[in-house]
Amino acid sequence: MDYSNYSVEDFLMDESFQKYVREGDKESQKIWEEILRNFPDKAPEIEEAKEILQWVRFQKRKPSIKDAEQDIKRFEKYLLQATIGKSGKVVPLWKRGWAAAVVVMVCAVGFLYYYPQVITVKKTDTVQNTKEYFERKVPDGQKLSLKLGDGTTVKINAGSSIKFPQKFTLDKREVYLEGEAYFEVVKDAGRPFIIHTGNFQTTVLGTSFNINAYPSQEVFKIALVEGKVQVEDIKEKSRRVQLTPNQMAICLDTGIVASAFDPEEELAWKNDILVFKEADIHQVAHKLERWYGVDITLSKTHLIEKKFTGRFHNQTLGHILKGASFALGFDYTQQGKSIIITGTK
Amino acid sequence: MKLPDQTIWNSLKNGNKEAYLQIYKSHYELLYSYGLKLSNDQELTRDCIHEIFVNLWEQRAKLNDVLHIKAYLLKYLRRLIFHKLKKKNRQTSIDSLQQESFQITFSPEDLLIQQDITKENQQKIMEALSHLSPRQKEIIYLKFYDELSYQEIQDIMSLSYQSVRNTLHKALTSLRKRLLSLVVIIFFTSKILYINSL
């Protein structure tokens, strides 16, 4: 592009120049520094155009919060009435009230019917954003399968919780996870599926994968089975990886690394298979607590150095304890939900 | 990530309330500030915005396809406010609003607060803006407040692309002339600073 005949006005009219002065983003800066290098004679014009643009920078007059709220309420009220009085006839006020009550009741019944296990419903109410969240907590010893509004299925492992809006917005699907879950995300290119786990977020476009993000653990793991996901640190956006199938992101405080993973080990839980792979006594106890919802106390087990490997499908806790006690060398006593493991050495 | 306008618009046409609410929420402030600039009347602006959205919902099945919702709504608001003001002013002066033009005024509160503009210079800028024609003012508003593209401004004001550009060009020449003294002063100070720092 030839700028040698550009006047101050021409620069002012140039949309790329406007963007450069207004936003000063790196990309525009690069473009315009390059132009200045190529047309050094134009420095005075560019300088003047910059000055003038700085002066005609305006701010918009915003409505007061009270007015904006009043307006949205008026609008929502209209919308409610418009959907009830479909005939277009003017519905008398008392009839309108009745119709609205019926709708609300039906909603409430439907709500209870579909969400029998809802534990808390948190309501955040702002002008911009009116969303209701459901939170599902899965206690130790249980698992839960869920189908979300967009058709995505989630299997949630024991001791985990998930939070999601009653209805996803039009531009994205966001859920919050603590613990471990297996997602089969329905493809929707226009609405990325985002999973928030602590400081990390995983962005998905149609895929199935496993997230392991128990807050008590230091390491979060996201294992991808198929599709494509991006994992990023929300505090340090430069830290991010894109996964390809059979890769796993390991999120640490210091960064995110991608590595291969063993599907047997990472995904078995969703098929109700409990897997131990070279697990020490602490890992075994921890996994059993979560899987069966029991309380395990370790006593004099510091000398146990052996590792335990095993694969159990629908087995009782007693059966596994028996196997592990033999392999690792410990005794145990069980009273209801509490178990004491004692080293034998 | 944002859904394309067409998708949202089609959802509205199909009676999707969520899409409709989203259109309302994401354009409310923009419409408000533009309407207020045109009419200088808060109540009128708010009523017009409400009326537009009521009409949209009632006519949703008959709506045309819209590529740019923002420009469509701003244009709609512009026309509605013009008609309301015309009705209001019928008794007094019919001629003043003949050409779909508005009495836009700028005030120092409109300026983005910048440390290096003195009260005196603010006054000079306001003075320079006040000499523009109504149409020039409106284009300046749409370009530098709402940061719209020429294409959008052309749609909203029902002007040709060339006449939008010509009008803005004239407006900028006039502004530049009136602001010349400011430019020179600032230029000198920055030059002097430059030499000093060497």
Question: What's A115's domain CATH number?
Answer: 3.55.50.30
What is the reported pLDDT for A117?
Answer: 32
A99 with A45, same domain: the answer is: no
A194 with A85, same domain: the answer is: no
pLDDT tens digits along B138-193: 999 899 888 899 999 999 998 999 999 999 999 999 998 888 776 655 555 554 44
Interface of B with A in 61-120 (CB under 8 A): 106, 109-114, 117
Residue A301 tokens read as: 């087990």
Mean residue pLDDT across chain A: 77
Share of chain A residues as helix, strand and coil, in percent rounded to the nearest 5: 35, 35, 30
% of chain B with per-residue pLDDT over 90: 30
Residue A211 tokens read as: 């997230």
A187 with A253, same domain: the answer is: yes
A13/B24 touch (CB, cutoff 8 Å), yes or no:
no
Q: Which residue of B has its CA nearest to A194?
A: B1
What is the reported pLDDT for B160?
Answer: 92
| CA gap A193, A124 in Å, rounded | 21
Q: Domain tally for chain A?
A: 3
A136 with A97, same domain: the answer is: no
A32 with A66, same domain: the answer is: no
A259 with A133, same domain: the answer is: yes
What ipTM, to 2 d.p.? 0.80
Chain A hits for B150, Cβ within 8 Å? 15
pLDDT tens digits along B85-115: 887 776 545 445 455 667 788 877 777 665 5
Residue A316 tokens read as: 């009782």
Q: What are phi and psi of B54, to 5 degrees?
A: -65, -45
Last residue of a domain, one of A212, A231, A265: A265
A173 with A199, same domain: the answer is: yes
Q: Read off the pTM.
A: 0.49
A222 with A187, same domain: the answer is: yes
Long-range Cβ contacts of A125-129 (<8 Å, 24+ apart): A127/A65, A127/A68, A127/A69, A127/A72, A127/B25, A128/B25
- Which of B8, B42, B183 is facing A48, going by the closest CB pair? B183
pLDDT tens digits along A55-101: 777 777 788 888 888 888 888 878 777 665 443 333 333 333 332 22
Last residue of a domain, one of A265, A288, A306: A265
A139 with A109, same domain: the answer is: no
- What is the domain extent for residue A249? 126-265
B144/A57 touch (CB, cutoff 8 Å), yes or no:
yes
pLDDT tens digits along A92-150: 333 333 322 222 222 222 232 233 333 333 333 333 344 578 888 888 888 888 888 88
**Ranges A87-91, A180-184, A289-293, B120-124: which has the least confidence:** A87-91
| CA gap A267, A245 in Å, rounded | 13
% of chain A with per-residue pLDDT over 70: 83
Which H or E element spans position A180?
Answer: strand A173-184
